[in-house]
Amino acid sequence: MNTFKLILGIESSCDETGIALYDNDLGLLCHTLHSQVALHDEYGGVVPELASRDHVQYILPLIIKALQQAGKSLQEIDAIAYTQGPGLSGALLVGASVGSSLAYSLGIPSIGIHHLEGHLLSPLLSTPAPAFPFVALLVSGGHTQLMRVDGTGKYTLLGETLDDAAGEAFDKSAKLLGLSYPGGAELSRLAEGGRPGRFRFPRPMLHSGDLDFSFSGLKTAVLNACNQNLLNESVRADIASEAQAAIVEVLTTKTILALKQTGLNRLVIAGGVGANRLLRATLDNAGKQYGFNVFYPDLQFCTDNGAMIAYAGAMRLKIQKANEHYQFNVMPRWDLQSLNIA
């Protein structure tokens, strides 16, 4: 396949509009991001219609801003990568339509990118970058999966959540504690002042022997604790501390098991929950104990961003043909393993 030098990446799968420019020779040139946190805060979660409208408002100004930051013109772009799925259909359509129409107007190819592939490959933007193969723990608001990654387009699902994702468990627990949206980061900050051991919540499927997860029972435990106690600041912090500890223990235990089963000694953490400080510290300690190396994306690339889409687009264009007919669709649900290259 042809190698395209300068790739424009567009991310619009949920509540962040991300734009980036990636140069195959020079690396990441720039990235710009608009977050919709303030927009959705009063509703306690993402409102899909509002998210779509906000993407429409910000996507073109962010593209212009990225070009200015990189000192590039539209005519210098060789290909455009946009998030095709999974995500909110309306939000995805904004990025897909802008990316495809802009590619058509410039006479250059476009390519739809799997959002989770972007997350899986995002640690390769950091230094040091992990070598293939590795085990990836993908933990975000909508997904919790363990994957074996043997290269771009070579993914094997090892285990996944059967209900709520880890990010959902953080956010729903935070909402029960009266914290603002998005709740995961707020819960982690509150947990820092909590006393470990005052509460004891279940660790679902901790000893199931497989690599699947379940976090719905944790939300119920947090709800019961909130209903049975006077929620002063001390109690809220103690509940937050135990909820975070339960999530981190399950994630860590399953991840260590995945490394043992695959025989690999490289672990990649991707997704928004990968920014959690307790999770990072616990996995780093486990790595020293069990002899594996842990790689994280930069904190700015843990949440949704255009840089991961631009980079994934650059890698994809090396192994598959781009869309030169400018037809596009979006895939709100999309199995990552369907991308595998034979």
3-state secondary structure string, the chain? CCCCCEEEEEECCCCEEEEEEEECCCEEEEEEEEECHHHHHCCCCCCHHHHHHHHHHHHHHHHHHHHHHHCCCHHHCCEEEEEEECCCHHHHHHHHHHHHHHHHHHCCCEEEEEHHHHHHHHHHHCCCCCCCCEEEEEECCCCEEEEEEEECCEEEEEEEECCCCHHHHHHHHHHHCCCCCCHHHHHHHHHCCCCCCCCCCCCCCCCCCCCCECCHHHHHHHHHHHHHCCCCHHHHHHHHHHHHHHHHHHHHHHHHHHHHHHCCCEEEEECHHHHCHHHHHHHHHHHHHHCCEEECCCHHHCCCCHHHHHHHHHHHCCCCCCECCCCCCCCCCCCHHHHCCC
| Residue 117 sits in the same domain as residue 135 | no
The predicted pLDDT at position 321 comes to: 78
β-strands 79-85, 6-11 pairing? parallel
| Residue 28 sits in the same domain as residue 167 | no
| Residue 61 sits in the same domain as residue 165 | no
Each as own residue / partner, the long-range contacts of residues 214-218 (CB below 8 Å, 24 or more positions apart, any chain) are 214/161, 214/162, 214/163, 214/164, 215/144, 215/161, 215/163, 215/164, 215/165, 215/166, 215/168, 215/169, 215/247, 215/250, 216/163, 216/164, 218/164, 218/169, 218/173, 218/243, 218/246, 218/247
Specify the amino acid at residue 210. D
| Residue 147 sits in the same domain as residue 262 | yes
The answer to whether residue 212 is domain-embedded is: yes
Rounded Cα distance, 323 and 103, in Å: 10
Specify the amino acid at residue 259. L
| Residue 154 sits in the same domain as residue 269 | yes
The answer to whether residue 1 is domain-embedded is: no
The answer to whether residue 241 is domain-embedded is: yes
| Residue 266 sits in the same domain as residue 319 | no
The predicted pLDDT at position 340 comes to: 87
| Residue 291 sits in the same domain as residue 320 | no
The predicted pLDDT at position 182 comes to: 81
**pLDDT by residue, tens only, the chain of 342 residues:** 567 999 999 999 999 999 999 999 999 999 999 999 999 988 888 999 999 999 999 999 999 999 999 999 999 999 999 999 999 999 999 999 999 999 999 999 999 999 999 999 999 999 899 999 999 999 987 889 999 999 999 999 999 999 999 999 999 999 999 998 888 899 999 999 999 989 999 999 999 999 999 998 999 999 999 999 999 999 999 999 999 999 999 999 999 999 999 999 999 999 999 999 999 999 999 999 999 999 999 999 999 999 999 999 999 999 887 767 788 999 999 999 998 876
- Give the domain range for residue 187: 128-296
| CATH number for the domain that contains residue 247 | 3.30.420.40
The answer to whether residue 52 is domain-embedded is: yes
Q: How many domains does the chain have?
A: 2
The answer to whether residue 59 is domain-embedded is: yes
| Residue 91 sits in the same domain as residue 16 | yes
| Residue 107 sits in the same domain as residue 171 | no
| Residue 48 sits in the same domain as residue 134 | no
The answer to whether residue 328 is domain-embedded is: yes
| Residue 161 sits in the same domain as residue 201 | yes
| Residue 106 sits in the same domain as residue 149 | no
Kindly report the number of other CB atoms within 10 A of residue 154's CB atom: 16
